[in-house]
Amino acid sequence: MRTGSDLGRRAAARRKELGLTRQEVAERADMDPGYVAYLEEYAPRMTRPALYRLASALETTQDHLLGADTDVPPGATTTATLLPETFTLSPGRCMELIGPGGVGRIGFVIGEEAAPTILPVNYLVLDGTVVFRVASHGVIARHTPGDASFEVDRVDGAMSEGWSVLLTGRAEPVTEEAEANALAACAPVRPWAQGAHDLFVRLVPDRISGRRVRGGWCPSAREV
């Protein structure tokens, strides 16, 4: 009986989220396709280098695959890499990195408050814009339309690696029924909070920036 493992289930879920086949993951991770299938279906004992290659292939972190990052702030783990380097990402590369979707953070200023409000949302990238769903009477909906920032990051604290992408622009509610129905059909983003989330919000970026941090052993070539 195939019971699988938490690591295997997380790996399989992330692979499907990225729209990759096992063959494609195997090629990215320099693994045999049969081994990728095995680790998804059983409970393998992986070496640290193999786990690192798998996490990189799935564009996630080792901690996430191991389930060790749910209650730990990003970057709080002990690093195994000295002197990490920071590289600037081009707008095009930024959009590629956030393209698979997932969890991001929407930020905006409410009224006369000095500090911004920042909330997590599940999102998808569609036609160069960020789309997510919110409660029609929630705090995000009450802020739209309005200026907003949107941030996505991925961090591997153990290897001092990761990236962060920041978009700033205009967050607009999708109020036309035809457009909302089209989004529901082609962008089935699933909110991770309970309750009704029947309002689509689209953030159209006018500024895109990002950075990647890599361990000092990586080639010091600037990403473009």
CB 127 within 8 A of CB 179: no
Beta strands 146-156 and 161-173 are: antiparallel
Tell me: the pLDDT tens digits for 158-173? 556 789 999 999 999 8
CB 107 within 8 A of CB 118: yes
The pLDDT of residue 137 is 79
- Helix H segments across 61-133? 62-66, 91-98
Separation of alpha carbons 121 and 203, rounded Å: 12
Tell me: the pLDDT tens digits for 91-148? 999 999 998 888 899 999 887 777 888 988 889 898 899 998 887 778 888 888 989 9
Separation of alpha carbons 47 and 51, rounded Å: 6
Whole-structure pTM value: 0.61
pLDDT band at 1 (very low <50, low <70, confident <90, very high): very low
Phi, psi dihedral angles at 57 (to 5 degrees): -65, -35
pLDDT at 218 > cutoff 50: no
Closest CA to 150 of 174, 128, 120: 120
